[in-house]
Structure 1
Amino acid sequence: MTQAFTQAAFTRAPQAPKLPTMPTGWPIGSYDTYEQAQHAVDHLADKEFPVQDVTIVGVDPLVVERVSARLTWGKVLTSGAMSGAWFGLFVGLLLSLFTPGAGLAPILIGLLSGVAFGMAFAAAGYAATRGRRDFVSQSQLVARRYDVLCQPRNAESGRDLLAQLAMSSKRWF
């Protein structure tokens, strides 16, 4: 039993490390976008390359915050009312389901209470910023370039396959 377990442990595919570790391997390609790096690794997989030896590494990471809208009291209160309405409606429906003969009263009370509390909490949160953040934005983590690394045992053949991909995708004018 122990010998079978030990043998099975050695034949398993290597797993990615659980803790954050620096990537290892030799660079076999460098790309401007993640999509290009992903396409390169997909090409390697299509050619039956052992992609478990490959890592895509974003180099020079940047946090990009894209501003999408100006924030006003009207937008804050409307958003708070809408989210509060959904929660209040949910609570009201639950109350009406478990209260025999209650009718629509719990639903209406839950809806109105949800709107009121949603607006109050949204207003309190916005007032706490004191006008220091009057906009809505989304943050992204992007990199200046994306390198494809491969373990040394297969790096040369991986580099050759990616060179073939680069030559086939060039457009001759």
Structure 2
Amino acid sequence: MTTAFSQSAFGAAQRAPQLPTPPSGWPIGSYDTYEQAQKAVDHLADSDFPVQDVTIVGVEPMLVERVSARLTWGKVLGSGAMSGAWFGLFVGLLLSMFTPGAGLLPIIIGLVAGIGFGLIFAALGYAATKGRRDFVSHSQLVARRYDVLCQPRNAENGRELLAKLAMRSYNF
């Protein structure tokens, strides 16, 4: 008997885990970049390989923070004024659309108020850092290498297909 709370063996095997779990399977390839691992899995898919058995695992994850610019009071206040201006313009436009006969006054008031609040909040936020973070950066999670794992039932076939891909790549 099947109920809403029971699972068939087939349904449980086909679904991805709901909670974070370690990956399972045998390694069939290892690559320096995610792009290479993705290309390998794409090759498997093009070869009609059952890719639902495949997992790409980033090994030795690293958080990489790339610094893109130096922060100055001018940049902080300029950015605050611009974002405040956009928000104020949006609010002003909404007010002018829903206020009959208002004209441009709500737009101008919204723009000026937005710039003022944007400047104040940007200045307060930057002053609160007390010079400890005078730069802009972007963080990215990367791995030292990317392993392609496959369930044991298809691992040997996957290794053979990826070996053929590697041989084609080295022949160029």
Range into which the TM-score falls when normalised by the shorter chain:
over 0.9
Q: Which runs of 5+ in 1 are unaligned?
A: none
Q: Secondary structure at the match of 1:21?
A: coil
| 2:132 matched residue in structure 1 | 132
Tell me how far 1:18 sits from its aligned partner: 1.3
| Residue 18 (structure 1) aligned with residue 18 (structure 2) | yes
Q: CA 1:9/1:94 → structure 2, altered by over 3 Å: closer, same or farther?
A: farther
Tell me how far 1:10 sits from its aligned partner: 3.8
| Residue 164 (structure 1) aligned with residue 168 (structure 2) | no
| 2:65 matched residue in structure 1 | 65
Q: CA 1:7/1:122 → structure 2, altered by over 3 Å: closer, same or farther?
A: closer
Distance 1:73 1:64 in 2: 26
**Letter of the structure 2 residue corresponding to residue 168 of structure 1:** R
Tell me how far 1:71 sits from its aligned partner: 0.1
| 1:120 matched residue in structure 2 | 120
1:69-97: CA deviation from partner (whole Å, max 9, x where unpaired): 00000000000000000000000001001
| 1:54 matched residue in structure 2 | 54
Summarize the alignment of residues 100-115 of structure 1 with structure 2, pairs less than 5 Å apart.
Answer: 100-115=100-115
Distance 2:99 2:126 in 1: 36
Distance 2:133 2:150 in 1: 44
Q: Secondary structure at the match of 1:88?
A: helix
**Letter of the structure 2 residue corresponding to residue 33 of structure 1:** T
| 1:88 matched residue in structure 2 | 88
- Runs (4+) of structure 1 exceeding 6 A deviation are 6-9
The 10-residue stretch of structure 1 (20-29 or 163-172) with the greater mean CA deviation from structure 2: 163-172
Distance 1:47 1:125 in 2: 54
TM-score normalised by the chain length of structure 1: 0.93
Q: Secondary structure at the match of 1:140?
A: strand
Query: How many residues get paired?
Result: 170
| Residue 154 (structure 1) aligned with residue 129 (structure 2) | no
1:47-84: CA deviation from partner (whole Å, max 9, x where unpaired): 00000000000001000000000000000000000000
Distance 2:60 2:106 in 1: 55
Distance 1:59 1:70 in 2: 32
1:72-130: CA deviation from partner (whole Å, max 9, x where unpaired): 00000000000000000000001001111000000000000000000100000000000
Distance 1:81 1:52 in 2: 50
